[in-house]
Chains A and B, each alone.
Chain A
Amino acid sequence: MRTDFVEKISLSQFFLMIVIFQLGTAIVIGLGQSAKQDAWISVGIATIYGVLLIFAYCFMLSLLPGKGFYELLKIAYGSLLSRILSYFYVLYFLYIAARVTRDFCELLTTAIYPKTPIEIISLSLALMCCYFLYQGIEVIGRSTEILFPYSAAFLILLVIFLFINRSFHSENLRPVLEFGWGPVFQAVFPSMLGFPFGEIVALTTVMVAVTRQDYLTKVGISAVAAAGTILMIFTMINVSVLGVDMIDRVEFPLLSTIRDISIAKFIERLDALVVFVMMLGIWLKVCVFLFAALKGMESITLIPYRNFVFPIGLLVSSISVFIAANFAEHIEEGLVAVPLYLHIPFQIGIPLVTTVILLIKVRRRKGEKKHEGLDNVVQSEN
């Protein structure tokens, strides 16, 4: 296998990766539905949390610049414990990748291909992502940069068409805060912490590949804020077009919003635009989660990750078929099991403990270096 790939992604590619990563599934599946017409406020609060989270991750990476997430684990916990933690992280990332694939398969079979077996869609997506990963993270960054304008154009077109179609009913957004701040905060904790803003933990493995590390924090924060704002706007759009009752009922709110468009009897049934936007987001999410898992395996087995790409990719595709027997089980797992037992320890718990340990170690090392530095100076003077 070739080992001479240069793996660098530029700052703009990193920015777009974060934005599309966040938008990915969240924009079609919808967030904060339990807050009814105040869902957009919940998304706003979650955005603030996301900004804080990425600031924390960048801070953790900046303690020892140039080292990726798994190397930090190794330095913080030592060889054996970090291998066990990396193993669990690999399992976590693969599980999330399988869930995301399953989301996409459900969308396609519900809206467009009812007779096609989901295994076929799952296989096609997995094969595509495997090929991209085989070529390296740089190819993924470049592809995101190329495909993003189309996604953005479709989203803007959607908004314009909805406006022409007079689909916006601002009275659906009122009365604001009808039931007070309670439901708004209940919608944020704990489900919105993990999805979509908490999944940035997977991007920490990618961050080390960015060219200009000094701008990492600024770019990261602005990307998360941008993604959060777009999500907030689209949540508002969904509620104002569909109304509160319908948002509760439908599986894919943005899809139902798009089906409302009927201009001059000619521009109708624009489901394909939404599927494209979601396809780009899902592809990037699966690639990043797989990359994070593969990097984890690389740090455990010390074998370049490209060797694992195809079996692990197809493993994810198989697991995505097995995780749930029907859509209701998939949703239930996502609401009950995943946020509490998976997202919180892996996204907040372990990184927090790691940061604290690293802070202590770095301070100690700085103290030692100061002494060493003085010795060197004294010696060179002599």
Chain B
Amino acid sequence: MGYTRVIKLLLLCCVFTFMTTGCWDRKELNEISLISGIAIDKGENKKYKLSAETVNITELSPKTKGGETPSVVYTQEGDTISELVQKMNTGLSRKLILSHMSVVVISEEIAKSSLMEFLDYMDRYREVRNDFNLVVAKGVKAEEILTVLYPFQKISTLKLKVQLNTLQDEWGGDPDVRLKDFIQALVSKGRSPVAVALTVSGTKHIQNSTDIMKHPIPPSLITVPGMAVFDKEKLVGYLPLEGVRVYLWTQNKLRHTSLSVPCSKDKYINVFVYNSSTNVKARGKNDVPHIQLNIKVETILDGTQCGADLSKHSSYVDYERKAADFIRAEVLATIKKVQKDFGTDIFGFGDHMHLQDPAYFHKVSDRWQEAFKKANIEVKVDARIRRSGLDTKSFLQQLPPR
């Protein structure tokens, strides 16, 4: 009897030892280092060159900072991104965690040479989430984008994240492209992807130094020149900032923006758009796609250089018409420019056609880009100005005429 009891106790002890050792996959906090952004360039000796920016957490808190750099950037070359991420420890100290990436910067060369296959790793790997911005580095190496620091956010990629978010919200300057959107646009027959472009501008290009944060006019600053336009996997060109706004309008994603509408020669009114909705109708007629955009905007008059009396309804109607014409002209011009210069449907009109006129779309789906080039685009804008700030009449009216 004693035997079985002893054996049972021993077995229990073994089982408990087995169960209390903790998880096979555990990673302690002081063993990991967060990557806040990666940059992918074309490698000189191998296919890719990966730069990873890791966060030096003690530098970020006001209590513990000591004048060190808030982030460390390290570069490696290799043939696949997944191998490079594991290999980063040839220079960096801890295990790298990709979950909290804010930005992935892709160099122009990679995008132009259609080397976007690394996106498969991002899609497949379980640590990578869907909430980072995909950006294209214009005119500079992708690595340089990671090394320009900024006083408020300290880490360059965090600054980029906040910057792009704010730009999209305030002016509509960022197409808000995430990994899932990019891949969906790549795969779908009716559209091509876009990504915001970044460049480094400034009077003196000192990067790689925390001294940047000591000047009121930053010697180097990352700015947004516009948006990169892709034809499936290949980068074909850039659109200026106004083009980004038009793109957001066609996607019904524009939140707020600010328009300078001409009211007479060399004088402008400024309208702040606070509500915008777009409706896209797509139909195929006589083997030509007919796309109709209905844009409705609600605005506030923020400033005027013309002296109209804003207490009268007729002034509002006049300005509303001018704003609508302005928006219409801008949207039409950008879409036609994309049709002519790039010939690729970044606006997703093909997807709309698929939903609304599937019969026609099935006919042309294999050559949608050509069909898009000869598409008939019609834009209707309905602009409403609801109010005009604190003043009804402008003080400019009361100035003595010159």
Answer yes or no: A and B touching, Cβ < 8 Å: yes
Interface residues of B in 94-150 (CB under 8 A from A): 99, 123, 126, 129-131
A349 close to B (CB within 8 Å)? no
* Residues in chain A near residue B183, CB distance under 8 A: 245-246
- CA–CA, A171 and B252, complex, Å: 14
A112 close to B (CB within 8 Å)? yes
Interface residues of A in 189-246 (CB under 8 A from B): 243, 245-246
- CA–CA, A214 and B12, complex, Å: 45
Main secondary structure of the interface of A (DSSP, over half): loop
Which of the residues B126, B130, B184, B187 comes within 8 Å of A114, measured between beta carbons?
A: B126
Q: What's the minimum C-beta distance from A180 to chain B, rounded to whole angstroms? A: 11
Assess whether B25 is in contact with A245, with CB atoms less than 8 Å apart.
Answer: no
- CA–CA, A243 and B130, complex, Å: 15
Assess whether A171 is in contact with B355, with CB atoms less than 8 Å apart.
Answer: yes
* Number of chain B residues close to chain A: CB under 8 A: 18
A182 close to B (CB within 8 Å)? no
Assess whether B184 is in contact with A243, with CB atoms less than 8 Å apart.
Answer: yes
- CA–CA, A369 and B131, complex, Å: 74
Assess whether B24 is in contact with A178, with CB atoms less than 8 Å apart.
Answer: no
Q: What's the minimum C-beta distance from A289 to chain B, rounded to whole angstroms? A: 25
- CA–CA, A268 and B129, complex, Å: 10
Q: What's the minimum C-beta distance from A241 to chain B, rounded to whole angstroms? A: 10
Report the nearest B residue to A114, measured CB to CB. B25
* Residues in chain A near residue B130, CB distance under 8 A: 259-260, 262
* Residues in chain B near residue A111, CB distance under 8 A: 126
Additional 15 contacts, C-beta under 8 A, given A113-B23, A245-B184: A110-B126, A111-B126, A112-B25, A113-B25, A114-B25, A116-B25, A120-B24, A171-B351, A175-B354, A245-B187, A259-B130, A260-B130, A260-B180, A268-B131, A269-B99
* Residues in chain B near residue A117, CB distance under 8 A: 24
List chain A positions with a Cβ less than 8 A from chain B. 110-117, 120, 171, 174-175, 178, 243, 245-246, 249, 259-260, 262, 268-269
* Residues in chain A near residue B126, CB distance under 8 A: 110-111, 114
Please name the 8 residue pairs, one residue from A and one from B, whose CB atoms are nearest each other, closest first: A116-B24, A245-B187, A175-B358, A113-B25, A115-B25, A115-B24, A174-B355, A171-B355
B188 close to A (CB within 8 Å)? yes
Q: What's the minimum C-beta distance from A195 to chain B, rounded to whole angstroms? A: 25
- CA–CA, A111 and B123, complex, Å: 13
Report the nearest B residue to A269, measured CB to CB. B129
Q: What's the minimum C-beta distance from B112 to chain A, rounded to whole angstroms? A: 25
Interface residues of B in 248-290 (CB under 8 A from A): none
* Residues in chain A near residue B23, CB distance under 8 A: 113, 116
- CA–CA, A143 and B195, complex, Å: 51
* Residues in chain A near residue B187, CB distance under 8 A: 245
* Residues in chain A near residue B188, CB distance under 8 A: 245
- CA–CA, A262 and B23, complex, Å: 26
Q: What's the minimum C-beta distance from B355 to chain A, rounded to whole angstroms? A: 5
Q: What's the minimum C-beta distance from B388 to chain A, rounded to whole angstroms? A: 32
Report the nearest A residue to B24, measured CB to CB. A116
Assess whether A113 is in contact with B24, with CB atoms less than 8 Å apart.
Answer: yes
- CA–CA, A178 and B23, complex, Å: 48
* Residues in chain B near residue A116, CB distance under 8 A: 23-25
- CA–CA, A113 and B27, complex, Å: 11
* Residues in chain B near residue A260, CB distance under 8 A: 130, 180
The contact string, 1 if C-beta is below 8 Å from chain A, for chain B 342-355, is 00000000010011
Q: What's the minimum C-beta distance from A68 to chain B, rounded to whole angstroms? A: 34
